[in-house]
A and B are shown apart, each in its own frame.
Chain A
Amino acid sequence: MKQEYIISAYSENHIGLLNRITIIFTRRKVNIESLTVSESALAGISKFTIVVNEEKEKVVNIVRQIEKQIEVLKAFYHTNDEMIFQEIALYKVPTQALMESDQIEKMIRLHNARILEITKEYTVIEKTGHKEETQALFNGLNQFGVLQFIRSGRIAITRSPIERLSEFLRERDSLFAKMEAKIK
């Protein structure tokens, strides 16, 4: 059964690695619903957050292929309910519409959105939330004509108390130490 999975991969910050990771999906004809890459809490280590709608078996296979890449430290996969996640959306609406009625203002309050910039021509509104939430605000605002709209890729964090990567790096250090001791 297909469902949404969040794949998180930690890697060295190297040129070309994004390409190496995305071709793993392309080759299996799996569509990436959203993708975010940024530096993790550990300096020099990048974190990929990739959302796919797929069968579990395929996701497991993809995660293993990601981990097989030389510069990838570790990859995980989670279902949505195992993670806390957010997306951010920006909406540009005509300022005129804001002036003519209080409906947009009410919508902003109701959706916990905020205004980032107002000019004579347009107003930029920001909203964070799940896709359904940012979409709901879009549908509301679009009655007045949304001039531009953009939604970010997903960012996500696990519900466990510690960053799993630091735990993992500690394990790996001891693994290397053990293996090197064996060689000596």
Chain B
Amino acid sequence: MTTKNEKIKNSPKEAIEMSGSEAMVRSLVAEGVDTIFGYPGGAIMPIYDALYDFGHAVKHVLVRHEQGAVHAAQGYARVSGKVGVCFATSGPGATNLITGIADAMIDSTPIVCITGQVTSGLLGTDAFQESDVIGISMPVTKWNYQITSADEIPDAIAKAFYIASTGRPGPVLLDITKDAQFAKLNFAYKKCTRIRSYVPEFPTNKVHLKNAADLINSAKKPYLLFGQGILLSGAEKELRHFIEKTGIPAASTLLGISALDSDHPLNMGMLGMHGNYAPNIKTNECDVLIAIGMRFDDRVTGNIKTYAKQAKVIHIEIDPAEIDKNIKTEVAILGDAKHTLRLLTTLVEERQHTDWVNEFLQARQKEEEKVIIKDLHPTKLGLTMGEVVRLSTNLTGNMAVVVTDVGQNQMAAARYARFNQSRSWVTSGGLGTMGFGLPAAIGAKFGSPEKEVILFVGDGGIQMTIQELGTIAQEKLPVKIVILNNDFLGMVRQWQELFFEKRYSFTEITSPNFVKLADAYGIPAAVVSERKDLEPAMKAMIAAKGPYLLEVKIEQEDNIFPMIPAGATVSNCLLGSDEL
């Protein structure tokens, strides 16, 4: 072993004979992988056997269910900007990954999933734990490939990492038959830098760039929307320079949060169904709409027939398939956000749109009076999600990585958490995957160990992947879990209240005693239900050196406002149920 290691170190170019499994692990190390989330099983045992010798180079985290592995890989990728990696065995192991892969696909998260597969001779025979994971994962992967011979391993891994991380990132799945893991090959690793049929990003079209600059320079009421593309291309600084030079107010999508400091004077907040009031209504009042690294999801646009019809739309986007898909553009600039913004900033004139920005601030004031003050400084007895979230963000100086599950807890966190650092917001956007939060928080902590990681999760969502408390306990991982417990599946209940005549069909949910449960795992925990206890409890949680679970009993039937009802126009952004 040592001699072989030395040999590899001394002459990396020289091919060395080894098993497919070892080649797999060495390829991952060559790609800079330091953390793998996974779960062993029959068809991936040779790879796990090879991994046994690589403890010095790679940390393997044993999850409690494969869905936990893939969400953790997503959380890791989102905070670190690196490719997240997970392992699963064939059959049920592989199929358990699918939800997370679909989530990563729709949220453009770079992950590489490696699944074991039955021996190639048994493919298609309904062998034990055989499932057609290539077929099953095809619609939800950016690329997938089945390796049936050991020789293919280094190239397949190189391609997988190249595809997952370049262009519009996404999930890649490699399925490896057991015989390919055992077989020998002459190993030499070379990174992939080009695939003939794949152009990760197109060079900037100078004419389009000029047209966009002209539109921006002549605009009276320009407005900028940014999405996760800013984070994915590392364009945070470029975005700030651009809006500061042009004086253009900006708003983010759910996934664009943390790309621009929350308290930046031109950051108007979040778009979308439960986004802020001003960003939504001003969409239908601007004259030029600049959209960067976002895809006009229906939760952002509401009814597209009445979306920004008065505005000329400029779309800066890396994925050609997104151009004109939902919203017709006046000018589309294909390419990476960072590069494009850098070029565009040189072409735009210095401006201040004081009156226009003031209009946003006036609209914000309206939301402040009708919604925010009630959420953050409630006069009623029951605790609100908003005050819990804002307290945690205040106590951490806006420096924590905030992870959420899906539903009311997610929207409260998106609205009331504040951010001073990019890549400090992890949530399931496009797929809206309940159960995402707890495992994603595990991945986020491994991806940013130096930061405080706080998870906001509902009593419904935590019970979908609650088994991952075991992973946290085993790793003694200092993740801070805040359960916002209202004894309801809150978001569905809210819709039932507003649109289904309060017929609460199967949305009341009972929970275990979370404190006792945490205790069973050896995780310190506390529960609060009164306002006076919240701050000390939250401080104790943040002060904890290891993992900590804080259950907060909140008002049972609170609603998230503002709200744009499904299919309504963005102008119809309601500030309360009285406006319905």
A70 x B143 contact (CB < 8 A): yes
Q: Which of chain B's residues 164-203 have a Cβ closer than 8 Å to chain A? A: 193-199, 202-203
Residue B139 lies at the interface, judged by CB distance under 8 Å to chain A: yes
**Neighbouring A residues of B146 by C-beta, 8 Å:** 15
B163 x A179 contact (CB < 8 A): no
B196 x A73 contact (CB < 8 A): yes
**Neighbouring B residues of A11 by C-beta, 8 Å:** 197
A61 x B197 contact (CB < 8 A): no
Residue B134 lies at the interface, judged by CB distance under 8 Å to chain A: yes
A73 x B321 contact (CB < 8 A): no
Q: A70-B163, A71-B198 are in contact. List 20 more A-B contacts (CB 8 A).
A: A12-B196, A16-B135, A19-B138, A23-B138, A61-B321, A64-B320, A67-B321, A68-B319, A70-B142, A70-B195, A70-B198, A71-B197, A73-B196, A73-B197, A172-B196, A175-B202, A175-B203, A176-B194, A178-B203, A180-B194
Task: Give chain B nearest CB distance to A121 CB in angstroms.
Answer: 37
Q: Which of chain A's residues 113-162 have a Cβ closer than 8 Å to chain B? A: none
Work out how many contacts link A and B, with CB atoms closer than 8 A. Answer: 47
> Which of B139, B197, B199 is A175 in contact with, Cβ under 8 Å?
B199
Q: Which of chain A's residues 65-114 have a Cβ closer than 8 Å to chain B? A: 65, 67-68, 70-73
**Neighbouring A residues of B319 by C-beta, 8 Å:** 68
> Which of A19, A61, A67, A70 is B135 in contact with, Cβ under 8 Å?
A19
Indicate the size class of the contact surface on chain A. Answer: 20 to 34
**Neighbouring A residues of B532 by C-beta, 8 Å:** none
Closest B residue to A169 using CB positions? B196
A16 x B320 contact (CB < 8 A): no
B139 x A12 contact (CB < 8 A): no
Closest B residue to A61 using CB positions? B325
B197 x A27 contact (CB < 8 A): no
Residue A20 lies at the interface, judged by CB distance under 8 Å to chain B: yes
A20 x B138 contact (CB < 8 A): yes
**Neighbouring B residues of A19 by C-beta, 8 Å:** 135, 138
| Bound complex: CA A73 to CA B135 (Å) | 22
**Neighbouring A residues of B202 by C-beta, 8 Å:** 175
| Bound complex: CA A7 to CA B143 (Å) | 22
A27 x B139 contact (CB < 8 A): yes
Closest B residue to A72 using CB positions? B197
> Which of B135, B138, B321 is A68 in contact with, Cβ under 8 Å?
B321
A70 x B320 contact (CB < 8 A): no
Task: Give chain A nearest CB distance to B9 CB in angstroms.
Answer: 27
Indicate the size class of the contact surface on chain B. Answer: 20 to 34
Task: Give chain B nearest CB distance to A150 CB in angstroms.
Answer: 27
| Bound complex: CA A20 to CA B143 (Å) | 10
A16/B197 contact (C-beta < 8 A), A64-B320, A68-B321, A70-B163 known: no
Task: Give chain A nearest CB distance to B69 CB in angstroms.
Answer: 24
**Neighbouring A residues of B198 by C-beta, 8 Å:** 70-71
Of all A-B residue pairs in the complex, the 7 with the closest CB atoms, nearest first, are A64-B321, A70-B143, A73-B197, A68-B321, A70-B198, A71-B197, A23-B139
Task: Give chain B nearest CB distance to A32 CB in angstroms.
Answer: 16
Which among B134, B163, B198 has the highest number of chain A CB atoms within 10 Å? B198
**Neighbouring A residues of B203 by C-beta, 8 Å:** 175, 178-179
A65 x B197 contact (CB < 8 A): no
- Mark interface residues in A13-48 (1 if CB within 8 Å of B CB, else 0): 001100110010001000000000000000000000
Cβ contacts A to B, 29 pairs, < 8 Å? A11-B197, A12-B196, A12-B197, A16-B134, A16-B144, A19-B135, A23-B138, A23-B139, A27-B139, A60-B324, A61-B321, A68-B319, A68-B320, A68-B321, A70-B143, A70-B163, A70-B195, A70-B197, A70-B198, A71-B197, A73-B197, A172-B196, A172-B199, A175-B199, A175-B202, A175-B203, A178-B203, A179-B203, A180-B194
**Neighbouring B residues of A72 by C-beta, 8 Å:** 197
| Bound complex: CA A29 to CA B144 (Å) | 23
**Neighbouring B residues of A176 by C-beta, 8 Å:** 194
**Neighbouring A residues of B193 by C-beta, 8 Å:** 180
| Bound complex: CA A180 to CA B203 (Å) | 11
| Bound complex: CA A15 to CA B135 (Å) | 11
Task: Give chain B nearest CB distance to A177 CB in angstroms.
Answer: 10
| Bound complex: CA A3 to CA B203 (Å) | 34
**Neighbouring B residues of A180 by C-beta, 8 Å:** 193-194
| Bound complex: CA A172 to CA B203 (Å) | 12
Task: Give chain A nearest CB distance to B572 CB in angstroms.
Answer: 26
Closest B residue to A19 using CB positions? B138
| Bound complex: CA A65 to CA B199 (Å) | 14
Task: Give chain B nearest CB distance to A168 CB in angstroms.
Answer: 11
| Bound complex: CA A71 to CA B196 (Å) | 8
- Mark interface residues in B202-228 (1 if CB within 8 Å of A CB, else 0): 110000000000000000000000000
| Bound complex: CA A72 to CA B197 (Å) | 6
Closest B residue to A10 using CB positions? B197
Task: Give chain A nearest CB distance to B498 CB in angstroms.
Answer: 31
**Neighbouring A residues of B139 by C-beta, 8 Å:** 23, 27
**Neighbouring A residues of B197 by C-beta, 8 Å:** 11-12, 70-73
| Bound complex: CA A172 to CA B138 (Å) | 26
| Bound complex: CA A81 to CA B199 (Å) | 31
- Mark interface residues in B50-62 (1 if CB within 8 Å of A CB, else 0): 0000000000000
Task: Give chain A nearest CB distance to B315 CB in angstroms.
Answer: 14
